[in-house]
């Protein structure tokens, strides 16, 4: 370690990954050879300098308004997503596999959705239980028989991955409705390029800034008819949505209007936006509004965010929507357990990225196992997002476990359970030192005819020592995620 400089070198020398797989160091059995050069450069930085640059970066995020709203005690607070400056690095070899795995998963889920809204073969063949689909609150009978371009329902997909102590990536969750977070991937990279040009020079990192271009291409590809230059818009619930910054970001990157429901109107089953010169036709909508709020005539009649009549326009093929309506039936936490079987059923392949072992409490066997091993399992309600309602068995008190048990018994179908995955860690700058913190990874995939996966994705980091919940709404932060264009020679 004599090549290490003072300060951070000492801190990295004292760094202890506590037996977890480490994204920068690997593990005793599988050392991360691809990060060697980056580690050396990191070590050469002075700790005070690292700290100062990190503070500059956070101030810049705040000044740029790269913030999300947190609702607490009925007050909306504008907060930045804390940004950790120590990057997470994925080798070219690992990425090739992740990319193929994400593409495979998206393909299977789209085939599943087509099937669900057409022939329902997978149900008739007994692979996926019928009531899991038809009893799912996100199943939309209105979608039955509607043909979507290229058979694609999930145009924008976020797959939550975790890496266990053996260094194996596993799928924790699918996000096929309105996945968010991609703006941070691009902004984090901007931030790193500005704050750490010295760290990044000569490292061949796959770029991420073309996400908006790829998204616009897909939105044009799915636009109906033979419109030469389709009018694409991004439909947002508005400034009070917690992901509003991302809506702004994506509209800017695509160069399209960021509209709200009140900006759109349906006339003769065609969608128009209100402009300074009257109504103007809209062809393709990237909607960041949930199914329920899309069209008060077709779905939730209480919704003020939506556009009355937009579903009828969509049904008639006059406008494209991404994601399609009704995708929630495929990214449900209960349906998730069946995805490996879907991959086998539709593609006749084994999953490239395995699931985390999952027990389905709606099944007697799964419920019994869960109740018997409550203190070892993570119990998740299937309908919630954002880390809410989760009970982490090994961390829960006896009273909390009892509450969980009662909930399970009262409504077993609402829960799944999984073993506690020893999430990989990554060196993270915390108060005065560098310590391991748990991370996950959410790659993003865009699909029209084909699937393109953004190299890397959002690495979320649980900033509180020991915590496993990385969600931004629960105090998590994020890191820049580097995918190496090629691995250094000599690595495994």
Partner 1 sequence: MSALLARYAECIFWMARYMERAENLARILDVHETFARDTRGSKDWTAIVQLNADTARFKELYPSATAENVTNFYILDGQNPTSIISAVGYARENARQLRPLISTEMWTQLNVFHNWLHTLGPTDIALHNLPRLCGKLKEACQTHTGITEGTFYRDQGWYFYQLGKYLERADQTTRLLDIKYHTLLPSTADVGSPIDISQWSALLRSAAAYHAFRRVHPRGMTPASVAGFLLFNDSFPRSVVVCTRQVDQLLTRLKSKYRLRRGSIAMECVDEIQAALDAHGIEQVIAQGLHEYLDWLQLRFAEVSGHIAVAYFGLDQTAAA
- The verdict on 267 binding partner 1 (CB under 8 A) reads yes
How many Cβ atoms sit within 10 Å of the Cβ of residue 204? 12
- Mark out the alpha helices in 353-396 (DSSP H runs): 364-372
CB of 10 to partner 1, least distance (A): 36
- The verdict on 226 binding partner 1 (CB under 8 A) reads no
- The verdict on 25 binding partner 1 (CB under 8 A) reads no
Helix axes 182-195, 47-63, angle to 10 degrees: 130
Q: Which of 252, 376, 395, 465 binds partner 1 (CB under 8 A)?
A: 252
Per DSSP bridges, beta strands 258-259 and 425-430 are unpaired
Do residues 312 and 268 touch, judged by C-beta distance below 8 A?
Answer: no
Question: Near partner 1 by CB under 8 A, which window of 130-138, 191-199, 216-224, 267-275?
Answer: 267-275
Do residues 113 and 327 touch, judged by C-beta distance below 8 A?
Answer: yes
Give the span between the Cα atoms of 164 and 106, in whole angstroms: 22
Radius of gyration of the chain (CA): 23
| Angle CA 200–201–207, to nearest 5 | 60
- The verdict on 278 binding partner 1 (CB under 8 A) reads yes
Q: Which of 13, 48, 64, 227 binds partner 1 (CB under 8 A)?
A: 64
Both structure tokens of 485: 């264009």
CB of 316 to partner 1, least distance (A): 17
Looking at the Cβ atoms of 254 and 337, the one nearer to partner 1 is 254
Q: Which of 69, 265, 352, 385 binds partner 1 (CB under 8 A)?
A: 265
Looking at the Cβ atoms of 185 and 360, the one nearer to partner 1 is 185
| Angle CA 277–283–287, to nearest 5 | 100
Q: Which of 262, 316, 376, 449 binds partner 1 (CB under 8 A)?
A: 262
Looking at the Cβ atoms of 224 and 257, the one nearer to partner 1 is 257
Q: Which of 111, 132, 208, 258 binds partner 1 (CB under 8 A)?
A: 258
CB of 85 to partner 1, least distance (A): 21
- The verdict on 272 binding partner 1 (CB under 8 A) reads yes
- The verdict on 239 binding partner 1 (CB under 8 A) reads yes
Do residues 468 and 423 touch, judged by C-beta distance below 8 A?
Answer: yes
- The verdict on 256 binding partner 1 (CB under 8 A) reads yes
CB of 55 to partner 1, least distance (A): 16
- The verdict on 70 binding partner 1 (CB under 8 A) reads no
Looking at the Cβ atoms of 273 and 463, the one nearer to partner 1 is 273
CB of 263 to partner 1, least distance (A): 5
CB of 149 to partner 1, least distance (A): 25
CA-based torsion, 253, 257, 261, 266: positive or negative? negative
Looking at the Cβ atoms of 28 and 228, the one nearer to partner 1 is 228
Taking CB under 8 A as the rule, which mask of x and - marks residues 395-434 in contact with partner 1? ----------------------------------------
Looking at the Cβ atoms of 274 and 465, the one nearer to partner 1 is 274
Q: Which of 3, 63, 226, 397 binds partner 1 (CB under 8 A)?
A: 63
Q: Which residues are within 8 A (CB) of 14 and not within 5 positions of it... i.e. 6 or more apart?
A: none
CB of 337 to partner 1, least distance (A): 40
* Number of residues binding to partner 1, judged by CB under 8 A: 30
CA dihedral 452, 454, 456, 460 (to 10 degrees): -120
Distance of CA 139 to the CA centre of its chain: 21
CB of 273 to partner 1, least distance (A): 6
Looking at the Cβ atoms of 106 and 233, the one nearer to partner 1 is 233
Question: Near partner 1 by CB under 8 A, which window of 170-178, 258-266, 326-334, 374-382?
Answer: 258-266
- The verdict on 165 binding partner 1 (CB under 8 A) reads no
Give the span between the Cα atoms of 116 and 393, in whole angstroms: 35
| Angle CA 459–76–178, to nearest 5 | 45
Do residues 243 and 79 touch, judged by C-beta distance below 8 A?
Answer: no
In the 3-class helix/strand/coil scheme, how is 223-251 assigned residue by residue?
CCCCCCCCCEEEECCCCCCCCHHHHHHHH
Do residues 445 and 153 touch, judged by C-beta distance below 8 A?
Answer: no
Q: Which of 37, 70, 146, 279 binds partner 1 (CB under 8 A)?
A: 279
Both structure tokens of 18: 């506590």
Only one residue has tokens 């109107």, namely: 265
- The verdict on 228 binding partner 1 (CB under 8 A) reads no
- The verdict on 316 binding partner 1 (CB under 8 A) reads no
| Residues forming beta bridges with residue 433, ordered by sequence position | 430
- The verdict on 92 binding partner 1 (CB under 8 A) reads no
Q: Which residues are within 8 A (CB) of 312 and not within 5 positions of it... i.e. 6 or more apart?
A: 266, 269, 297, 298
- The verdict on 62 binding partner 1 (CB under 8 A) reads yes
Give the span between the Cα atoms of 237 and 288, in whole angstroms: 7
Binding site for partner 1 (CB under 8 A): 62-65, 239, 244, 248, 251-252, 255-260, 262-263, 265, 267-268, 272-281
């Amino acid at each position: 370690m004599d090549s290490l400089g003072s300060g951070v070198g000492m801190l990295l020398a004292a760094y202890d990954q506590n037996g977890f797989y480490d994204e920068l160091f690997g593990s005793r059995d599988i050392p991360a050879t691809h990060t060697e050069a980056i580690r050396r450069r990191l070590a050469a930085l002075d700790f005070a300098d690292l700290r100062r640059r990190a503070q500059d970066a956070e101030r810049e995020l705040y000044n740029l308004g790269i913030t999300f709203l947190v609702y607490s005690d009925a007050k909306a607070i504008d907060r930045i997503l804390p940004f950790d400056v120590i990057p997470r690095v994925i080798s070219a070899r690992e990425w090739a596999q992740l990319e193929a795995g994400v593409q495979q998963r998206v393909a299977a889920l789209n085939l599943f959705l087509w099937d669900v809204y057409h022939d329902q073969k997978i149900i008739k063949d007994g692979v996926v239980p019928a009531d899991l689909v038809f009893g799912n609150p996100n199943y939309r009978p209105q979608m039955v028989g509607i043909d979507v371009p290229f058979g694609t329902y999930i145009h924008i997909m976020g797959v939550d991955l975790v890496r266990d102590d053996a260094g194996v990536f596993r799928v924790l969750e699918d996000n096929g409705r309105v996945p968010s977070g991609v703006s941070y991937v691009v902004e984090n990279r901007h931030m790193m390029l500005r704050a750490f040009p010295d760290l990044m020079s000569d490292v061949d990192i796959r770029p991420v800034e073309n996400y908006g271009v790829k998204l616009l291409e897909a939105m044009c590809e799915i636009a109906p008819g033979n419109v030469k230059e389709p009018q694409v818009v991004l439909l947002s619930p508005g400034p009070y949505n917690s992901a509003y910054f991302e809506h702004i970001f994506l509209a800017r990157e695509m160069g399209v209007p960021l509209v709200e429901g009140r900006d759109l109107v349906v006339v003769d089953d065609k969608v128009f936006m209100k402009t300074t010169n009257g109504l103007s036709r809209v062809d393709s909508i990237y909607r960041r509004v949930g199914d329920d709020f899309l069209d008060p005539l077709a779905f939730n009649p209480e919704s003020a965010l939506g556009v009355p009549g937009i579903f009828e326009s969509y049904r008639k093929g006059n406008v494209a929507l991404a994601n399609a309506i009704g995708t929630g039936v495929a990214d449900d936490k209960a349906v998730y357990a069946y995805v490996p079987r879907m991959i086998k059923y539709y593609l006749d392949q084994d999953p490239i990225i395995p699931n985390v072992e999952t027990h389905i409490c709606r099944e007697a066997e799964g419920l019994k196992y869960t109740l018997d091993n409550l203190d070892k399992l993570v119990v998740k309600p299937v309908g919630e997002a954002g880390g809410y309602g989760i009970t982490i068995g090994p961390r829960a008190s006896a009273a909390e476990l009892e509450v969980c048990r009662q909930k399970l018994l009262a409504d077993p179908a609402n829960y799944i359970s999984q073993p506690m995955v020893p999430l990989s860690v990554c060196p993270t700058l915390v108060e005065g030192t560098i310590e391991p913190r748990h991370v996950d990874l959410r790659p993003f995939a865009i699909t029209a005819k084909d699937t393109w996966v953004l190299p890397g994705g959002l690495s979320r980091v649980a900033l509180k020592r020991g915590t496993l919940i990385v969600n931004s709404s629960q105090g998590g932060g994020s890191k820049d995620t580097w995918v190496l264009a090629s691995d250094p020679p000599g690595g495994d």
